[in-house]
Amino acid sequence: MSLAATWRAARPPAAGLHLDSAACSRQSYAALDAAARHARHEAEVGGYVAAEAAAPVLDAGRAAFAALTGIPDGAVVFTTGSRNALELLLSRWPGTHRTLACLPGEYGPNLAVMAAQGFTRWMLPVDRDGRLQLDEAAATLGADPPDLVHLTPIGSHRGLVQPLAEMVAMCRGLGIPLVVDAAQALGQIDCAVGADAVYSSSRKWLAGPRGVGALAVRSDLAELVAPGPAVGDANVAAQVGFCVALGEYLTAGPAAVRTALAAAGARSRRVLAQLPGWRVVEPADEPSAITTLAPLGGADPVAVRARLIAEHGIVTTAAGVERAPGELTAPVLRISPHVDATQGDLEVFAAALAGGAGAG
């Protein structure tokens, strides 16, 4: 069976057309069942006893996350998501007048976390598309190194892929720790390239449950993520589901999934290139399954998203400027098919969009 067919057969059929993996992918039967079984086990033997019994599954999940983030002998902790991971890391980062460098297109909620944790922020140099300019970045970072560089290799607001591996090499050369927000990158591009800390969410491209994520850090940063006295409760059932999703992702083959997702992005942009009233934001062959459409004729992406759900059962995202306040100037409509989206699915979406582009 092809990867697309395997992926599709492994989960419940979609009620309509799901083009929203960057928001929340569709879980597999195996991930759903594992989480439900764990919850049931909690009812049978007690929540804390069940958690002990799940330890091997959770260990395997942490090891899978460490492998996928390229931090094999580091420390991995489960979080409630990506934002929670950044909060944890920055709240414990040493120093007082702390500084970091990030992209102008940084995820808006991350900017809020950075500010709340008292970090002074510098912007990395980018070209007109928002892509990191490596030579200029090396010069700026070398001249005045911040405490850390925070890189979001793929944002929420567009499917542009930043040069992660090159940035890892540069930061290592300069001796600056590199922290990576892999909420969108993990699953879509190779993140096992040697960053110092990598965090991600379960529900996006790895197709695990909502409300869980993980953070991996190099072993000498392990004390930053050691459980403190104020650690709250955890949804162990969701962690178990995430571990199963990680295992399924590894079984499917990270390189094969990445290639298929890049192909889904290229296919989307080919189908949508001539759509009246909308402009495809990404370069046609950008290796990401995220495609965003900017309205040309005044359509409102929020209203269009609602209409697509109500009239066509098509799930997409309207991404507002708050997702990247330093880069987005107007809302865009985002589609993010997983590996099982067909050419026909994308044509159905294009036709639905064209059918009411002005009215949206």
Which residues of the shown chain bind ligand PLP in the complex (CB under 6 A)? Answer: 81-83, 107, 110, 152, 155-156, 181, 183-184, 201, 213
Measured over the CA atoms of residue 120, residue 81, residue 65 and residue 131, the dihedral's sign is negative
Judged by beta carbon, residue 184 or residue 239, the one nearer ligand PLP is 184
Judged by beta carbon, residue 213 or residue 360, the one nearer ligand PLP is 213
Q: Do residues 143 and 172 touch, judged by C-beta distance below 8 A?
A: no
| C-alpha span between 295 and 14 (Å, rounded) | 27
| C-alpha span between 197 and 29 (Å, rounded) | 31
Least distance in Å: CB of 23 to ligand PLP?
A: 8
Least distance in Å: CB of 81 to ligand PLP?
A: 3
Cβ neighbours for 287, distance < 8 A, ≥ 6 positions apart? 161, 188, 189, 258, 261, 262, 265
How many other C-beta atoms can be found within 10 angstroms of the C-beta atom of residue 192? 16
Q: Are strands 197-201 and 213-217 parallel, antiparallel or unpaired?
A: antiparallel
Least distance in Å: CB of 103 to ligand PLP?
A: 11
Q: Could you write out the DSSP letters of every residue in 247-264?
A: HHHHHH-HHHHHHHHHHH
Judged by beta carbon, residue 42 or residue 327, the one nearer ligand PLP is 327
| C-alpha span between 178 and 206 (Å, rounded) | 23
Least distance in Å: CB of 32 to ligand PLP?
A: 19
Least distance in Å: CB of 112 to ligand PLP?
A: 11
> What tokens appear for 224 in the block?
């930053």
> What tokens appear for 255 in the block?
């390189």
CA distances from residue 280 to 154, 274, 275, 312, 332 in whole angstroms, order as listed: 17, 9, 9, 21, 10
Backbone angles phi, psi at 51, to 5 degrees: -65, -40
Judged by beta carbon, residue 42 or residue 87, the one nearer ligand PLP is 87
Least distance in Å: CB of 282 to ligand PLP?
A: 15
Least distance in Å: CB of 356 to ligand PLP?
A: 28
| C-alpha span between 309 and 316 (Å, rounded) | 8
Judged by beta carbon, residue 155 or residue 159, the one nearer ligand PLP is 155
Judged by beta carbon, residue 80 or residue 268, the one nearer ligand PLP is 80
Judged by beta carbon, residue 240 or residue 350, the one nearer ligand PLP is 240
Judged by beta carbon, residue 200 or residue 268, the one nearer ligand PLP is 200
Query: What end-to-end distance do the CA atoms of the chain give, in Å?
Result: 39
Least distance in Å: CB of 242 to ligand PLP?
A: 11
